[in-house]
Amino acid sequence: MAFSLAQDSRQALAETGRAPLRVGLIGKGIQLSRTPAMHEAEGRAQGLDLHYDLIDPDAMTGPQPTLAQMLDAAQDAGFAGVNVTFPYKKAVIALLDDISAPARVVGAVNTVVFADGKRRGHNTDYWGFAESLRRGLVGANMDSVLLLGAGGAGGAVAHALVSLGVKQLMITDRDPAAAASLAAEVGGTAVTDLAAAAKAADGIVNATPMGMAKLPGTAIDTALLEPRHWVADIVYFPLETELLRAARTRGCRILNGSGMAVFQAVRAFSLFTGLTPDTNRMRATFEAFSQVHDTQKGG
C-alpha cells in the first residue's frame, strides 16, 4: 500500500468548521528539528491552526516510503507545503512542476509549496544565510571569503556569499572534487592550502559538520585565525562551536548558525501561509530550546 498521512485537512474542516493549515518536513533523522516549533508557535500567534509534521523514514517502522510517495502523501492530505532536508534537497527537484530562480541557481530545494495542484520549489537556506549575514555582520568586509565545506548547505552558502558581493570565494572540502565542482559553479577557487587562503580572506565560513556536538573539532587550524577575520558558522548545535569560541577568544567578529536556521523558517512560513511572520518571535521560539546534542542534519 502506498504511504499515506493521517487526517485529511478536508475531513478536519468538515468536523471542526475550521481548516487547519498543514505543513511538514521530509527528511531523515530530523526528530530534534526546531523548525516545527517555530512554525507552530508563529501560526498560533497569527491565529492559524497550523500543524507541522515530521515525515521521517528513519522514525518509521515497516517498508520505507520513497520521496515521491512522501511528497504525494503530503499533497493528497491537503498540506500547504513541506520543507525538505537531508538527503532529499536535490532529488526533490525532479518531482516538482517549477522552481524559483534562487533554487535553480543553487540546484537544491528545501521548501515546496502546493497550490492549484502544482508543486513549486524554493531554496530558503540561501536567503536565510544571506539575511543572517546581512543583519549579523553589518559593515564587514566581504571582498574575500574562505568557505569550509562544499556539501548541500555549502552550496546555498556559496551562492549567498556571491549574491552579497564576495569577489574572491575560496572553497575547501575534504572531498576535493566537491570543492572543485562548487568553485566552478560559483566562479570561486578550490583551495587546499588553508594557511594561504586564511591570509587572503576577510572572513571564514564553516559549512562542514565539524563542531557539532557529535563531531567535535574544527575544519581549519584555529591558529590561522586573526583578529581582523570575521568568522561565521552554520552549525547550531551547539551555538558556540569550537571554531567560534576560538575566534571570539582571538577577538574576531563572529556569527553563529542560529540566524540561518531562523531565517530559512521565516521565509518558508511566508511561502506556506502568505503571511508575514514576526522574525523576533520566531527567533525567540528557536532560542527557547535548551542546548541539546545535535543528532540531525540541518533542517
The one-letter amino acid at 32: L
DSSP 200-217: H-SEEEE-SSTTSTTS-S
Does 170 bind ligand NAD (CB under 6 A)? Our answer is no
User: Which residue matches cell numbers 537544491?
Assistant: 108
Does 178 bind ligand NAD (CB under 6 A)? Our answer is yes
- Nearer to ligand NAD by Cβ, of 58 and 175: the residue is 175
In sequence order, what are the residues at sequence separation of 6 or more whose Cβ sits closer than 8 angstroms to the Cβ of residue 182? Answer: 150, 154, 155, 158, 171, 173, 188, 190
Does 267 bind ligand NAD (CB under 6 A)? Our answer is no
User: Per the residue annotation, which of 52, 88, 126, 236 is the catalytic one?
Assistant: 88
Does 238 bind ligand NAD (CB under 6 A)? Our answer is no
Does 174 bind ligand NAD (CB under 6 A)? Our answer is yes
- Beta carbon of residue 256, minimum distance to ligand NAD (angstroms, whole number): 9
- Beta carbon of residue 6, minimum distance to ligand NAD (angstroms, whole number): 28
Yes or no: say if 201 and 148 are a contact pair by the CB < 8 Å rule: no
Is residue 88 annotated as part of the catalytic site, yes or no?
Answer: yes
Does 171 bind ligand NAD (CB under 6 A)? Our answer is no
Longest dimension (CA), the chain: 65
By beta carbon distance, the residue nearest ligand NAD is 151
- Residues 59-88 contacting ligand NAD, CB under 6 A: 86
Q: In the sheet where 118-122 sits, what is the strand order?
A: 50-55, 21-26, 81-84, 111-115, 118-122, 98-99
- Nearer to ligand NAD by Cβ, of 73 and 243: the residue is 243
> What are the CA-CA distances from residue 105 to residues 99, 130, 133, 180, 289 (Å)?
10, 14, 19, 17, 33
Does 30 bind ligand NAD (CB under 6 A)? Our answer is no
What residues are labeled active site?
88
Contact residues for ligand NAD (CB under 6 A)?
A: 86, 125, 148-154, 172-175, 178, 207-210, 212, 219, 234-236, 257, 260-261, 264, 297-298
